[in-house]
Structure 1
Amino acid sequence: MPGKLAGKVAFVTGAARGQGRAEALRLARDGADIIAVDIAAPVETNVAPPATPADLEETARGVKGLGRSVVTAQVDVRDYAALKAALEDGVRQLGRLDVVVANAGIWSYGLSEEISDLEWQTTQDVVLKGVWHTAKAAIPILKDQGSGGSMIFTSSTMAIKGMQNLSPYVAAKHGVVGLMKTQALELAPFGIRVNCVAPTSVNTKLIHNDQTYALFAPDLPEAERTADRVKDRFATIPVMDVPWVEPEDVANAVAFLASDEARYVTGLELKIDAGQTLK
């Protein structure tokens, strides 16, 4: 039985690991061929250890293992010309474009009055401008095809509630929601739907790193700051009894928004938050 995305092509940014990899694999499992891009290199100010070209290749192997075609490129979403070229090359090879998942993101920590201009600007450039670049590159292709499409931006519960020590990220994610709503209006006449997913903490390197553990557990000696020791502190964020959700939980929401099951869903911020925003 063909998958619900059979014959379609999806473009995923930040695809080397974590949410991006889970999304690429889930869309491939549903029948889509994949254009997978990632910087796969360090980004200044990001708290998470960098993804690598080997990580991106692992994503590609996973897609191929599901019987789907994949095109990869090592691209920084801040570089519009390179991102556009990578997307156009992928479309040339795979034949079309139907789904766009603007997932690439970073964050760093600090009180609003203490963060540097570099931390602020780098976060805006990756988290907000990177989404705009992704959409800007994809929209002309989707319009020219004339068969609609689905664009899905990664937002966050922090675009709904806010959080201390993360003002650049919170501001950028609020901007992502505003961009989504605006583009949903602009693109509705073309049958192109635009939505966001808004996860709580996700079980990826973006939270599992030394700086995040230090923020959540400053009272623990550095050697004792492990996932097992901090998970109870993360568990205070949602209302359900979990410390974080899995990348696959977010990928499931992306797959729904990408499919015809959501054919009249646009302008939505879909929360995968285990109830965090109920507080």
Structure 2
Amino acid sequence: MKKQKKDRKKTDIFMIIVLFLGIGLFSYPFVSDAVNSYFDQQLVQYYQQKANNENEEAVAKLKEKQDKQNAELAKDGNNPGVAAFNDAVSNEQQKKIKKEQSYLKQHTIATLTIPKIKVSLPIFDQTNELFLQNGVSLLEGTSIPSGGPSTHSVLSTHRGLPEAKLFTDLPKLKKTDVFYIDINNERLAYEVDQIKTIEPTDTQDLLIQGGEDLITLMTCTPYMVNTHRLLVRGHRIPYKPEAEKEIKETINHNRNKLFIWIGGIILAVLLSLFIFRKIKKKRTH
């Protein structure tokens, strides 16, 4: 009888361990993505607050500097630095890099919001693996995303990582969908007008087009194969204030999903333990 009770206790402990492992394995990718999204929103919020607190003169000077840089790029002809992106997304380079929040803040120059696919990410001023794992990188040799005629910014990131979605859902965008850039205390709207798949070394569709105000979102395709690049291009359209609601909803969605998942896991554990105790109680009678 004692041996039977001891064996039953061992079985119960084993079942509880298996239960917790199962919940952990199932929830890991979702919780990891939620954690990364939460920290991304901290950067988004930091940038927006910083921009709001800047005085008009400082913002005007920065905008003037960016416009000058973009004008020089348009005059000399841009040379999109796809090599940096291609190197960063190669299998050899895709290793987890320790993130330093203060360093990421220093290099955040804008934010990107895509309500259609619930994306809200910081935009960094360089392309490297650290930035690609934590948001969107400005492709070197392309315009700063501050808008204006004869500008073409290329914003790139991973199609997705085990711990972060990033541009996983980019293929869901269709022509006429709209995405938004927040920069220099100004919100710019872009409407998707072209979706293309290109070779990794092809830069023709990333060049500046005279008089046009363009932004191209770039990621790897097919998913997990990464042999080509998916380009989703948008042209500047007037910003409509009524879009504020869906932009806020997108940011809040990414900020709050961590707490939703934590609550869900706690609920799942409590429910599982309750069911387990019920079964155990029936078994002892």
Normalised TM-score (structure 1): 0.29
Give the structure with higher Rg (CA): 2
